[in-house]
Amino acid sequence: MQTNIDQTHWYDRIWASMIFFTRLPFWRLHEPPKECYKAVVEHWPMTGWLTGSIMAVTLWLGSLYLPYAVAVLLAIVVRLLITGALHEDGLADFLDGFGGGGNNRERILNIMKDSHIGTYGVIGLILYELLLAVSLFSMTPILAAMAILAADPFAKMVTAQLIMMMPYARTEEEAKNKTVYRKMSWKASVSLAIQGLLPMMAFIWLTGAKWTTIVFIPFLVMYFLYLLIWRKIHGYTGDCCGAVCLLVELATLLTICTQNLTINIVWP
């Protein structure tokens, strides 16, 4: 018997998001109803609190005992392990599909569904990881850690708008995970905004950063990617969401780099 999502416990949907977007064994403690996975995007930024925190702590603690460049690479590797490179896989498929599919919608979708990685995906992933590492390395360890904590949930909140702006490009049966995300209610949208904006607001308050730039540029990147996706395939896929999330996060970090910020925290 199918369970109505709204009749499930509030924590089931959060738990489903943690299971879906990470490789940590949350499923060993509790397995939420299958229908909850249709609402995982509503708590996507909250998973960013977890992955961002682990990545930030790894970078900061690593910088105390290791060369800073090594700490940055270690933090990136840790996040890849936590998420199972879920979003990176989406970015590679997105680049292969949109790079090699031309203007043929079906060809783009077929390429993105193919498990093999192509030239566009390989080159794109290399460039993405290099830009991510350089952007973090250009900051002080504490600033980079705080930037990660802010950018991870914020990028997920921004990217989640895709499911409200366009339909799913495939049928539920054709989806890789056999799940199509549901449209968000106004309550879910408010919750999503709070999850994504709180860490960013704290970061802006602590650093005195120009919030107009840090908020505007990532949204602009998301909007241009939305236009590209809509023009090519007239709908989103999970790969599109993963790719947009990473590119919006990267845009956020690169924007932070340009402001020459510092965070002065005096420990007791």
Q: How far apart are CA 102 and CA 156, in angstroms?
A: 28
- Note the pLDDT of residue 35: 86
- Note the pLDDT of residue 266: 47
Number of helices and strands (H, E) in the chain?
A: 11, 0
Q: How far apart are CA 227 and CA 188, in angstroms?
A: 24
242: nearest Cα among 50, 95, 24: 95
Tokens of 125: 């992933």
What's the residue count for the chain?
A: 268
Q: Rounded to 5 degrees, what angle do the CA atoms 13, 237, 198 make?
A: 45
Q: Which amino acid is at 127?
A: L
Q: How far apart are CA 32 and CA 76, in angstroms?
A: 29
Is the dihedral angle over the CA atoms 2, 191, 80, 247 positive or is it negative? positive
Q: How far apart are CA 234 and CA 185, in angstroms?
A: 22
Q: How far apart are CA 65 and CA 63, in angstroms?
A: 6
* 265 burial type by CB count under 10 A (0-12 exposed, 13-18 middle, 19+ buried): exposed
Q: What is the DSSP string of 243-267?
A: HHHHHHHHHHHHHHHTTT-------
Q: Which residue has the tokens 């989806």?
A: 175
Q: How far apart are CA 168 and CA 230, in angstroms?
A: 11
What does the buried/exposed string (b/e) look like for 160-185 if buried means 16 or more CB atoms within 10 Å of the residue's CB? bbbbeebebbbeeeebeeebbbbebe
Q: Mind listing the pLDDT tens digit of every residue in the chain (268 residues)?
A: 445 666 677 788 899 999 999 999 998 888 898 888 889 999 999 999 999 999 999 999 999 999 999 999 999 999 999 999 999 999 999 999 999 988 899 999 999 988 889 999 999 999 999 999 999 999 999 999 999 999 999 999 999 999 999 999 987 666 666 678 888 989 999 999 999 999 999 999 988 888 888 989 999 999 999 999 999 999 999 999 999 999 999 999 999 998 877 665 544 4
257: nearest Cα among 167, 138, 169, 106: 138
What does the buried/exposed string (b/e) look like for 55-87 if buried means 16 or more CB atoms within 10 Å of the residue's CB? bbebbbebbeeeebeebbbbbbebbbebbebbb
Tokens of 80: 């890849």
Given a contact cutoff of 8 angstroms between Cβ atoms, the answer to whether 156 and 196 are in contact is yes
- Note the pLDDT of residue 221: 96
